[in-house]
Every structure is written in C-alpha cells, then in structure tokens.
Amino acid sequence: MRTVDSRREFLRGLAVGSMVLPAGTMLGQEAIHLGSRVVEAPNVYRSGPAVIENGKVVQPRHEIRVLSDTEVLVVGGGCAGVIAALAAARAGQRVTLVERYGCFGGLWTAGLVLIVLATHVKTQAGLTKCVRGIGDELLQRLLAIKGGIINQGPGMRNPTSDPEATKYVMAEMLREAGVEILLHSWAVNAIMQSNDVKGVVFESKSSSYAITSRIVVDATGDGDVYAAAGAEHVRHIHRIGLVHRLGNVDRIDNSTAAAGAGTRKPGAVTPHPSVRWVNMQGPQGDCLDVKTLTQTELDGRRAVWQQVKALQQRPGHEQVFLLDTASQLGIRASRTLKGLVVPTYEEAMKGKRYRDSVGVGGGGDFLGERACDIPYGALVPVKVDNLLAAGRCIAGDNLMMNYLRLIGPCLVSGQAAGAAAALAVQRRRRPRDLEVVQLQALLKKQGVHFG
Ligand SMILES: Cc1cc2nc3c(=O)[nH]c(=O)nc-3n(C[C@H](O)[C@H](O)[C@H](O)COP(=O)(O)OP(=O)(O)OC[C@H]3O[C@@H](n4cnc5c(N)ncnc54)[C@H](O)[C@@H]3O)c2cc1C
C-alpha cells in the first residue's frame, strides 16, 4: 500500500524526468544517482528452488500467498477484459483486473491492430451502430482526445485509434470505476474446488501469488484460465502476424514517387497524418508453442525491417521510417471454448436470433451487412463453474470464430461477461443458472444494443 508520503515522493519522481528539467537537458554526472538508494532486501515469498529428483526437474509443493480476495476477477486486459471489468464494476461489484504486460488493450494497442471492425451494419436507412454500451463509450472518449481516433462518429465506421491514447483512456476508465488493477502478472493456474473455479495463481516479479474470487472471467484471448481449469475447448492453428507502423508518410515526395512506383501511400490510415499502420498476415502456426512464437517473432521482425528498407529505396519514399513494431505478437486464435452454445457461421449468415443473446455485433465484410447476435451460452463452459470467457476465446465454430475475434464483437462479449459475472455474484448463482432476462435487462441498462 502506498503511503501519502511515498506517493508524494513518487509524484516528485515523475516530475524530475518530465517537467523540472528544461527540455533537452541531459542528466549530468551529478544527477546520475538521483533517486537511487539501498533498501533492505524485501522478504519475497519464495517457494525455494526446483530440484532434480530421479533425473527430473521437480518444483517443490508449496503454499501460495493469497494477495487478495475479490468478487469478480478478470484475467487479461485486452479490449474484452477491460470492458468486462468496467461492466462488472459499474454493476456494483468489487473487481480485480490482472494483466501480464504493462498496459491495456492487448492486440488492439500492444498488437497495433488499431482498426475496430464489425461495429456497424449498413441498411437502406444508412449506417446503424451495433456496438454500443461501454465499448462505444470508450470510442467516444477517444474522439474527445486530439489525435485519439479517426473515422469515429455519425456516418462513419471502421474507426482507427491511436494505441497510446487507447491505453490511456482504458486505464482512466478503469481507475474511475474503482477497478483494482494488477499489471506484470501472468496467470499460470486455476484454483479449483471440485468443479468450481475459486481463483487464479499468477507469477510475477514478487513471486507466485493467488487471487481468490467468486467468479473468474477468462479474457486472456488464449483461454489460459479455462484450459488450466480443465474446461473443454478447441485448439486452433492460425496465421501469426507482426503489425508495424511507418512514420514520415506525409513526407513522401509525390512528384518523385509518381515517376517511380506510384503515389499510393503504404499501409492504412491512423489518426496522425504522418503515421500509417501495416498489417501482416504471417505464417500459420501453433500460437501456444513457445518455439513457434519465438521463430515467428524473429522472422517477422526481419521481414518488416527488409520491407521498410525496400520501401525507402522507392523514389520519393526516402524519408519514410519504421516507427515501431507491435510489442505483442499478432495471435489470431489459439483456443476457443466449448460453450453451452457454439454459434456457427452458417447460423450467422441465416441471421439466426438467439433467445440468450447478450448483444449484437456489426456486420462488416465477413458477414455481409448482417448484424450478429452473440449468445450468452458461448461464454459459459460446458462443465466448469464460476467461470466465463470473453473476447476472442469464446465459443464459435472455426469460421464464426474469425468473426467473433474482431474487436467490435469482443467489446460486446466483454461487456456481457462482466455483467453476467456481477449478476452471478449478486444473485448467488452459478453463471449457467442466471436468468438470461435479468442479464439482458442489466446489459440494456448499460447501453447494449440488441438489434
Ligand atoms: C494481425 C492481426 C490483425 C487483426 N486485424 C484486425 C482488424 O483489422 N480489426 C479488428 O477488429 N480485429 C482485428 N484482429 C483481431 C483483434 O485484434 C483481436 O482478436 C482482439 O483485439 C482480441 O481482443 P481480446 O481482448 O479478446 O484478446 P487480446 O487482445 O489478445 O487480449 C488478451 C489480454 O490478455 C493478456 N494475457 C494473455 N495471457 C495472459 C495470462 N496468462 N495472464 C495474464 N494476462 C494474459 C494479454 O497480454 C492481453 O492484454 C486482428 C488480429 C491480428 C492478430
């Protein structure tokens, strides 16, 4: 817990780097030790080293420190997890959100995906916004920030946001809602009591810790928690990409470019005229295999570098540079839940309406201009209890999964999972036993659109 004094010291520390020193000032020799002091070695809770027994590496059995107890534990701070945490907190629950990296947004921000698809449908009357509720509120808040988002607002779709603005707004919204946040923590196991999930074990710099909770929402994208809990699921092989951004694109010299390879700008728009983002399909691979992830990351980085070097050779493109590559590798799919309901692409194309719908996603290219019901059953495991899935790891057949993993539908399933978790706590029910009508009423109150 940070004391008032240490908080003041912390804020003073922020000021040293950013505000007190005049712009351009380097830290001189006399300042190099600023903020450095020796502290007593903390009593980090360690289980002791692993040992070799009969030629096998064995982790000793040990008690795990319980860091906190909460009502709703959301694991994974991508778009689905953030919206789930907000929905549960706004419904009145104590919520803890745990994320393995240092920022929110997952693939949308750290993965530099940026463009939010499947938010609207086009009808004869014009564009209808399907993704409303907290997801849309987030997009609207980005609109209020200079350079936060483009193509957001009446008559527009496929908004593209700035990753830093998105990380910032997400964190602000979570703090405003009173969500307990823990970053730099990797979920490694589920805590089970017979068939019920009772919490999650995390690894962190301060060693392993557990958080116990009434309901857990798995928003890891990869279903890490439900897999650990033994929930039935499907594994996927998919393409893995590494998205990047280009800078100085507004400095492309069109007079020279026209004489060379043409004036078409590389990549796609961002809120900044000088910056474009470039998607990558990438090779197929097992997104849960660490060697595949390593190789894809290394190969992807080399490919992007060479691509940008080649671009710089084109007449007029000399000033373009590689602004950044995604810090989170582009995992499209690894696990999807076997849910109480497994929505299929065929059903979606027939416009199937579900009795247990928790909102609709927009059509986009993938479903033509059909709005798409997302059924609650796609979030609920067949057997394991006190657990819900959100985002790209919910249930769907192999084609439908490619729709449900788009950011628009992930915002919808995230809000549904958070609201359902809150309701389950309030009614002292298992998620599978919730009255769907009550869940729908809560979601409507939170602004969700049901088509
Ligand atoms: C290359 C690529 C291009 C895409 N293009 C588009 C596009 O143009 N438009 C579109 O709408 N969608 C696109 N998508 C899909 C979309 O970006 C994602 O499916 C969506 O953002 C998923 O959101 P999520 O919150 O479910 O998962 P994620 O964004 O993956 O978030 C999961 C979060 O959980 C954290 N996490 C994971 N495991 C653990 C763990 N064990 N412990 C703790 N935290 C954990 C992660 O760090 C992450 O923050 C694309 C995807 C890729 C890969």
pLDDT digit string (tens) for 119-178?
Answer: 999 988 889 999 999 999 999 999 999 999 999 999 999 999 999 999 999 999 999 999
Distance CA 358, CA 372 (A): 11
Is residue 21 a part of any domain in this protein?
no
Asked if residue 153 belongs to a domain, the reply is yes
Amino acid 48: pLDDT: 81
As a whole number of angstroms, the distance between CA 81 and CA 85 comes to: 6
SS3 447: coil
DSSP state of 367: E
Phi first, then psi: what are they for 71, rounded to 5°?
Answer: -90, -50
Does residue 212 sit in the same domain as residue 85?
Answer: yes
- pTM of the entire predicted model: 0.94
The pLDDT tens digits of the residues spanning 262-285 come to: 668 899 999 999 999 999 999 999
316 and 391 share a domain? no
Q: Are residues 366 and 440 in the same domain?
A: yes
Residue 20 located in a structural domain: no
Rounded alpha-carbon distances, angstroms, from residue 309 to 312, 320, 399: 5, 9, 36
304/416 same-domain check: no
Q: What is the residue-averaged pLDDT of the chain?
A: 92
Measured in Å, residue 236 CA sits from the centre of ligand 1 at: 15
Contact 173, 84 (CB under 8 A): no
Could you give the CA distance from residue 386 to residue 96 in angstroms, rounded to a whole number?
15
| Closest C-alpha to ligand 1, atom 6 | 113
* CB of 362 sitting under 6 A from ligand 1: no
Q: Which residue has the tokens 């059995």?
A: 61
> How many other C-beta atoms can be found within 10 angstroms of the C-beta atom of residue 273?
11
Residue 74 domain-assigned (yes or no): yes
Q: Which of 270, 305, 328 is the last residue of a domain?
A: 328
284 and 360 together in one domain: no
What does the alpha-carbon distance between residue 303 and residue 310 come to, in Å, rounded to a whole number? 11
Instruction: Show which of 328, 352, 385 is a domain's final residue.
Output: 328
The atom number, within ligand 1, closest to the CA of 405 reads 19
pLDDT at residue 19 tops 60: no
Q: Per-residue b/e over 190-206, b at no fewer than 16 CB within 10 Å?
A: bbbeeeebbbbbbebee
Closest by Cα among 240, 244, 242, 327 to 288: 240
Residue 160 belongs to a domain? yes
Domain of 140, in residue numbers: 66-236+334-445
Residues 82 and 198 in one domain: yes
In sequence order, the 6+-apart residues with CB closer than 8 A to the CB of 449 are 129, 130, 131, 132, 133, 359, 360
Of 261, 295, 328, which residue sits at a domain end? 328
Answer yes or no: is the C-beta of 117 below 6 A from any ligand 1 atom: yes
Nearest-atom index, ligand 1, CA of 99: 44
Same structural domain for residues 91 and 219?
Answer: yes
441 lies in some domain? yes
Ramachandran assignment for 207, one of left (phi > 0), alpha (psi -120 to 50 degrees), beta (any other):
left
**Shared domain check, 161 and 109:** yes
8 in a structural domain:
no
Q: Is 138 a member of any domain?
A: yes
The sign of the CA dihedral 307, 309, 313, 319 is positive
Q: Do 388 and 412 reside in the same domain of the chain?
A: yes
Is there an atom of ligand 1 within 6 Å of 418 CB?
Answer: no
| Number of domains the chain is built from | 2
Q: What is the CATH number of the domain that holds 129?
A: 3.50.50.60
Measured from the CB, is residue 221 less than 6 Å from ligand 1? Answer: yes
358 and 224 part of one domain? yes
CA of 392 to the centre of ligand 1 (A): 7
pLDDT at residue 29, as a whole number? 59
Same domain, 217 and 254: no
Residue 152 and residue 216 share a domain: yes
Identify which has the larger pLDDT, 34 or 245.
245
